Amino acid sequence: MFRVDRRFFMTFDWVLLSLLLLVCGMAFFNLYSASYPPAGGMPPYMKQAYLLLMGMAGIIFIVSFDYKELHFWNYPIYLLVIVLLAFVIFIGNSAGGAQRWINLGFFQLQPSEPAKLMMVITLASYYSRKEVVNGYSIKDLLIPIILMAIPFILILIQPDLGTALMFVIIFISMTVFAKLRWSSFLVLGLSGIGMAVVGWFYVLKPYQKQRVETLLNPAKDSLGEGYQILQSKIAVGSGGLFGKGYMEGTQGHLHFLPERHTDFAFSVWCEEWGFVGSLFFLAIYFFLLFWGLHVAMSARDRFGLFLAFGVVMLIFWQAVINLLMILGFLPVVGIPLPLFSYGGSSLLTTLFGMGILMNVRMRRFQTGSNLEDCDV
């Protein structure tokens, strides 16, 4: 005997699913072009296709239970991710001078990616449980600051400054949304400025400082640190109004553009589809995020509100940073464009986040422990 939710098809967010599939479809065709011809072994687009199917299966699993269960599983998930982050520091796989991955055989898990979603769940759980009418004081924020600082430090050690800063951005976005006292704004602002100064002089490594300096004048080192930014800007600009055509981009296919299927995947899209094609993609992409905010505003409770808002902010800020990076307005920090850049951990994390959005949307009318169901 199975119990089937009578309102499943009525409450399921088909708009969100359609937008998600459209974005993933465009990303797949772009990845095929960016990674063609394959260098050997399983091509990246095939790996991404398998992981996409895994992610869709994960979405089905996530929407099958009430998102409020995450209240109970919040801290076990947090501890598991912290263990993985500590684990990767000691015996993780290294590449490019960083130690960030755990080899699972069929793909390389980067624990810092699911850690971002874990941070959203953790902060949503805290702010929904501890509601403050007049705004959160610094004392109220001590626990979420500590919960954010632990993964921040572990990821900074790898080293992965760009991903570590994402935890600060997620914390700021969700905390400001939760409402702060003006005194808290002042203290956090001054603390942020102080930490930025200390970080520049005592924490950042020489190559990280060089990236910031290169941003201001990439032509000064056009064959070194400035090469990626310059080639990306050339690719974006050479697309013109309608682009060079699918799989006809010279910057990508002649291997001038580095990391063309990961960090600079959207540069390939811009070159092949031009301004009009890029505008079309961005319209679909940001409408997806706008719809995510609509999901948050229609949530049935405070936890669902913060959960959906946090997922949207997680995707939004990564997208903005990646787009500004490929246009030369931000230094190259290794932040992918969610759902679009190649990368298993990023793709699965984002799809799981979309599953949470769908879960919140499906249960917006739910008042009891379970929706109405029927026997089949």
User: Residue 195 — pLDDT band, cuts 50, 70, 90?
Assistant: confident
Q: In terms of Cα–Cα distance, which of 328, 327, 341 is closest to 275?
A: 327
What are φ and ψ of residue 144, in 5° steps? Answer: -65, -30
Q: What is the mean pLDDT of the chain?
A: 85
Question: pLDDT > 70: what percent of the chain?
Answer: 87
pLDDT of residue 55: 94
Cβ partners under 8 Å of residue 294, min gap 6: none
pLDDT of residue 370: 44
| 114-128, 152-166, 178-192, 357-371 — most confident range | 114-128
Task: Check the CA dihedral 273-279-282-288 and report its sign.
Answer: negative
Of residues 208 and 296, more confidently modeled: 296
Q: Over 60: is that where the pLDDT of 376 sits?
A: no
How would DSSP label each residue in 167-223? HHHHHHHHHHHH-B-HHHHHHHHHHHHHHHHHIIIIIS-HHHHHHHHHHH-GGGGTT
Tell me the per-residue pLDDT of 245-273, one tens digit each, with 9 for 90 and over. Answer: 888 888 877 677 777 788 889 999 999 99
Largest CA distance in the chain: 70
Instruction: Report which secondary-structure segment, H or E, holds 197.
Output: helix 182-198
pTM attached to this predicted model = 0.89
pLDDT mean over 205-233: 70
* Domain spans, the chain: 7-36+43-363
Q: How do strand 98-103 and strand 108-109 relate by DSSP bridges?
A: antiparallel
Residues 26 and 177: their CA atoms lie apart, in Å, by 32
The answer to whether the peptide bond before residue 37 is cis (omega within 30 degrees of 0) is yes
Tell me the per-residue pLDDT of 148-164, one tens digit each, with 9 for 90 and over. Answer: 999 999 998 888 888 89
Q: Over 90: is that where the pLDDT of 102 sits?
A: no
Q: Judging by beta carbons within 10 Å of its beta carbon (0-12, 13-18, 19+), is residue 46 exposed, middle or buried?
A: middle
Tell me the per-residue pLDDT of 288-318, one tens digit each, with 9 for 90 and over. Answer: 999 999 999 999 899 999 999 999 999 999 9
